[in-house]
Chains A and B, each alone.
Chain A
Amino acid sequence: MERRGTRWALGGWTTLVVLFLWAPLALIMVYAFNKSNVQSWPIPGFTTHWFHVAWQASEVRSAVWLSVQAALLATSIAIVLGSAAAFAIARFRFFGREAVSFLLLLPIALPGIVTGMALNSFFTFSHIVPSLTTIVIGHSTFCVVIVYNNVLARLRRSSPSLLEASADLGADGWHTFRFVIWPVLSTALVAGGLLAFALSFDEVVVTFFTAGAQNTLPLLIFGYIRLGQQLPVVNAIAFAMIVLTVIPVALAQRLMRDTGVLRRGASALAATK
Chain B
Amino acid sequence: MATQAPVSRAQQKLAATSPAVRLIGIRRTYGDVVAIDRLDLDIAESEFFTLLGPSGSGKTTTLRVIAGFEQPDEGHVELGGVDVTRVPPFERDVNTVFQDYALFPHMSVQDNVEYGLRVKGMSRRERRVKAQEVLERVRLPQVASRKPLQLSGGQRQRVALARAIVNSPSVLLLDEPLGALDLKLRQEMQVFLKALQRDLGITFVYVTHDQEEALTMSDRMAVFNEGQIEQIGSPAEVYEHPQTEFVAGFVGVSNVIERDGRRITVRPEKIHMRADDGGSGEPGVVREVVYVGMVTRYVVDLDSGGELVVIRQNLETSSQQALEDRDKRVRLDWKPEHTYEIGKEG
Q: Do B105 and A169 have beta carbons less than 8 Å apart?
A: no
B239 at the interface (CB under 8 A from A): no
Q: Chain B, 228-251, contact with A by CB distance < 8 Å: what is the 0/1 string?
A: 000000000000000000000000
- Interface segment among A42-50, A121-129, A155-163, A217-225: the answer is A155-163
Smallest beta-carbon distance B123→chain A, Å: 16
Chain A binding site: helix, strand, loop or mixed by DSSP? helix
Q: Do A179 and B105 have beta carbons less than 8 Å apart?
A: no
Q: Chain B, 80-123, contact with A by CB distance < 8 Å: what is the 0/1 string?
A: 00000000111100111011101111110000000110111000
Smallest beta-carbon distance A184→chain B, Å: 6
Give Cα A180 to B150, complex, Å.
19
Give every chain B residue within 8 A of A259 (Cβ-Cβ).
Answer: 106
A175 at the interface (CB under 8 A from B): yes
Which residue of chain A has its CB nearest to the CB of B67? A168
Q: Chain B, 44-85, contact with A by CB distance < 8 Å: what is the 0/1 string?
A: 000000000000000000000001110000000000000000
Smallest beta-carbon distance B207→chain A, Å: 14
Give Cα A168 to B90, complex, Å.
5
Q: Do B119 and A168 have beta carbons less than 8 Å apart?
A: no
B147 at the interface (CB under 8 A from A): yes
Give every chain B residue within 8 A of A240 (Cβ-Cβ).
Answer: none
Return the contact of A170 from the options B67, B103, B116, B147 (Cβ within 8 A). B116
Chain A interface size band reads: 20 to 34
B167 at the interface (CB under 8 A from A): yes
Give every chain A residue within 8 A of B103 (Cβ-Cβ).
Answer: 165
Number of interface residues of B (CB under 8 A): 32
Give Cα A226 to B299, complex, Å.
87
Give Cα A170 to B88, complex, Å.
10
Q: Do A183 and B106 have beta carbons less than 8 Å apart?
A: yes
Give every chain A residue within 8 A of B98 (Cβ-Cβ).
Answer: 159, 161, 164-165
Q: Do B106 and A170 have beta carbons less than 8 Å apart?
A: no
Which residue of chain A has its CB nearest to the CB of B2? A170
A228 at the interface (CB under 8 A from B): no
Give every chain B residue within 8 A of A168 (Cβ-Cβ).
Answer: 67, 69, 89-90, 94-96, 164
Q: Do A164 and B69 have beta carbons less than 8 Å apart?
A: yes
Which residue of chain B has its CB nearest to the CB of A260? B147
Which residue of chain A has its CB nearest to the CB of B175? A161
Q: Which of A161-188 contact B (CB under 8 A)?
A: 161-162, 164-172, 175, 179-180, 183-184
B1 at the interface (CB under 8 A from A): yes
Give Cα A260 to B119, complex, Å.
24
Which residue of chain B has its CB nearest to the CB of A172? B90
A80 at the interface (CB under 8 A from B): no
B163 at the interface (CB under 8 A from A): yes
Q: Do A179 and B119 have beta carbons less than 8 Å apart?
A: yes
Given contacts A164-B69, A165-B98, A168-B90, contact A158 B105 (CB under 8 A): yes
Given contacts A260-B105, A260-B149, A260-B150, contact A170 B167 (CB under 8 A): yes
Q: Do B90 and A170 have beta carbons less than 8 Å apart?
A: yes
Q: Chain B, 134-160, contact with A by CB distance < 8 Å: what is the 0/1 string?
A: 000000000000010110000000000
Give every chain A residue within 8 A of B1 (Cβ-Cβ).
Answer: 170
Given contacts A175-B119, A261-B149, contact A165 B104 (CB under 8 A): yes
Smallest beta-carbon distance B122→chain A, Å: 11
Q: Do B167 and A162 have beta carbons less than 8 Å apart?
A: no
Q: Do A171 and B106 have beta carbons less than 8 Å apart?
A: no
Given contacts A162-B104, A164-B69, A164-B98, contact A170 B119 (CB under 8 A): yes
Residues of B within 8 A of A (CB): 1-2, 67-69, 88-91, 94-96, 98-100, 102-107, 115-116, 118-120, 147, 149-150, 163-164, 167
Residues of A within 8 A of B (CB): 158-159, 161-162, 164-172, 175, 179-180, 183-184, 259-261
8 nearest interchain CB pairs? A169-B116, A165-B102, A161-B102, A171-B119, A260-B147, A167-B89, A261-B105, A183-B106
Q: List 24 A-B contacts (CB under 8 A).
A: A159-B102, A161-B98, A164-B67, A164-B89, A164-B98, A165-B103, A166-B115, A167-B68, A167-B88, A168-B95, A168-B96, A168-B164, A169-B163, A169-B164, A170-B2, A170-B119, A171-B90, A171-B115, A179-B104, A179-B118, A184-B104, A260-B106, A260-B149, A261-B149
